[in-house]
Amino acid sequence: MIRMPMTASAISRPLAMIASLLVAASLLGQSSRYLLGYDHVKGLVPLFNVDGERNLPTFFAVILLLLAAALLACIAMLERQRACAHFRSWALLSAGFLFLAYDEAFLVHEQLNRIRFLPSRSGLLHFAWVVPAIVGVLVLSLVFLRFFLHLDGRTRRAFALAAALFLGGAIGLEVVSGVHGEWRGFANLTDALLATAEEALEMAGVIVFIHALIEYLREQYRELHLVFEPGTVPAAGEASEDARTSGGASFLP
């Protein structure tokens, strides 16, 4: 068994670098599309478009959300073991991030855009899904208020920053994009830049949140290790199902 100590920076820095490279590649692609007229470039432009579907940025965003969900589930289990009163809140957050990962992969929220809350050209609610999203955020803010206040100051600030970045992109810039799109159109460089900024803020918010979760684990449980358990090879004549074990990796405090 191999135990590798983990730090928040060892995880968040590579994630931030990958996110930055994806955003840069997307900007280059959209510049090529709208300034030079090359909207495909052997498939590279849609492959790296952060506002696209089922491409590298989407896959990376799903991985980020799943990693956050896994860390939250780990904290929930550990908090339950020590009879923490708020372990259900950690578990609920984990379920929420699993849903966000599913939504990122399959664009569930896009189905709500068929609804019209205000007349056309209003702009503010062009993307209708932001209405239930805002309501949901307000409700969840009340639900998690006690949980949020019981956290230490450093964790609270990190969680608040992560939420501000994520929601500022997902909802704030989505509204701005709707206003701009209704008046200036959507197929242009400005709209592409707004969409890129939106996705960049979302990824930044999740990465900050992941960093904060790992810091919380290290502060509460002193050390965090990534444990590799290689599979054992059964001796000759011991090829039964019980004798076979597979390798794997896991997080352990």
SS3 breakdown of the chain: % helix, strand, coil, rounded to 5?
70, 5, 25
Who's near 202: CB < 8 A, 6+ residues apart?
61, 165, 166, 169, 170
- Look at residue 213 in the predicted model and tell me its pLDDT: 96
Helices 8-31, 189-221: axis angle to 10 degrees equals 180
Contacts of 52 (CB under 8 A, 6+ apart): 46, 58
Q: pTM value?
A: 0.84
The tokens describing 126, both together, are 């062009």
Distance CA 40, CA 131 (A): 34
| pLDDT recorded at residue 131 | 84
pLDDT in the model for residue 242: 39
Residue in 128, 196, 141, 199 with CA at minimum distance from that of residue 165: 199
- Number of neighbours of residue 156 by Cβ within 10 angstroms: 14
- CB-based contacts of 129, cutoff 8 Å, min separation 6: 109, 110, 111, 112, 113
> pLDDT 10s digit of each residue in the chain, 253 long?
555 556 899 999 999 999 999 999 999 999 999 999 998 888 999 999 999 888 999 999 999 999 999 999 999 999 999 888 899 999 999 999 999 999 999 878 777 666 655 555 455 667 778 888 899 999 999 999 999 999 999 999 999 999 999 999 999 998 998 888 888 888 899 999 999 999 999 999 999 999 999 999 988 887 666 565 665 444 434 433 333 333 344 455 5
**∠ CA 15-20-21, rounded to 5°:** 100
| Short-list 189, 228, 195, CA closest to 37 | 189
